[in-house]
Amino acid sequence: MGRDRDRTNGRGKGVTRRGFLGSVGAGAMAAATGLPRPVDAVPVIDEPKGVVETALSINGRTYRLLVEPRWTLLFVLRERLGITGTKIGCARGECGSCTVLVDGLPRYACMTLVLEAEGREITTVEGLMQGEELGDVQQAFVEEDAFQCGYCTAGQIVTAEGLLTANPSPTVDEIRAGMAGNLCRCGAYVHIFRAVDRVARARRKGDDR
């Protein structure tokens, strides 16, 4: 008893058995519960900072806006500009629902950063209209019944336009290859290929006149 009294009262020296067990128990509890010790450093995560100004040429019109460099062209089209004909599908470059033309070439908007499209001519399905009338590819899809649910149709039409611009006289096999990057969950492929071939033949006849 005397020795314990000296260590506790006394003179600021030594540690009691009770105090030692208490400190060990607190450390064990912190380790068991996963609580960080006060001396642990808190990691700092860098968040994307700032926006930049850009100008986009879409369907013959120039849009000036502030964007984050990480934004995709698909996000900006739909969520910032309200151009919603371009659809969100897989969002990872597999289905083709978001296809747009960039300088006349089909490109997945979900895999294109918006700043990559700066200074280029972007065409969405809305840009293929002839005023208030359907464009010839759009009309051919209607006449050939080249869709069912219609979700992939905008991307299919834009890809077909890009194909026919690059190759005005495609064979059936070339149409199949050119449209291969666009998936149709309803399986309307035969009708899609017929629609593309229909436009190709109609354009050739028009050029012959």
Share of the chain above pLDDT 90, in %: 74
Is 81 part of a structural domain of the chain?
yes
Is 131 part of a structural domain of the chain?
yes
Strand pairing report for 99-102 and 105-108: antiparallel
**Number of domains composing the chain:** 1
Question: Which pLDDT does position 154 carry in this prediction?
Answer: 98
Is 56 part of a structural domain of the chain?
yes
Is 46 part of a structural domain of the chain?
no
Is 118 part of a structural domain of the chain?
yes
Question: Which pLDDT does position 49 carry in this prediction?
Answer: 66
Quick check: helix, strand or coil at residue 202?
helix
Q: What is the mean pLDDT of each run of 10 residues along the chain (209 residues)?
A: 47 55 51 46 58 97 97 98 97 97 98 98 97 97 97 98 98 98 97 98 83
Is 45 part of a structural domain of the chain?
no
Structural domain span for residue 162: 52-208
Question: Which pLDDT does position 9 carry in this prediction?
Answer: 47
Burial code of 66-84, b = ≥16 C-beta within 10 A, e = fewer? ebeeebbbbbbbbeeeebe
Question: Which pLDDT does position 50 carry in this prediction?
Answer: 85
Question: Which pLDDT does position 151 carry in this prediction?
Answer: 96
Is 129 part of a structural domain of the chain?
yes
Residue 176: CATH number of its domain: 3.10.20.30
pTM of the model: 0.76
Element (DSSP H or E) covering residue 35: none
Is 16 part of a structural domain of the chain?
no
Question: Which pLDDT does position 28 carry in this prediction?
Answer: 47
Question: Which pLDDT does position 107 carry in this prediction?
Answer: 98
Residue-wise pLDDT tens digits, 128-175: 999 999 999 999 999 999 999 999 999 999 999 999 999 999 999 999
Burial code of 145-168, b = ≥16 C-beta within 10 A, e = fewer? ebbeeebbbbbbbbbbbbbbeeee
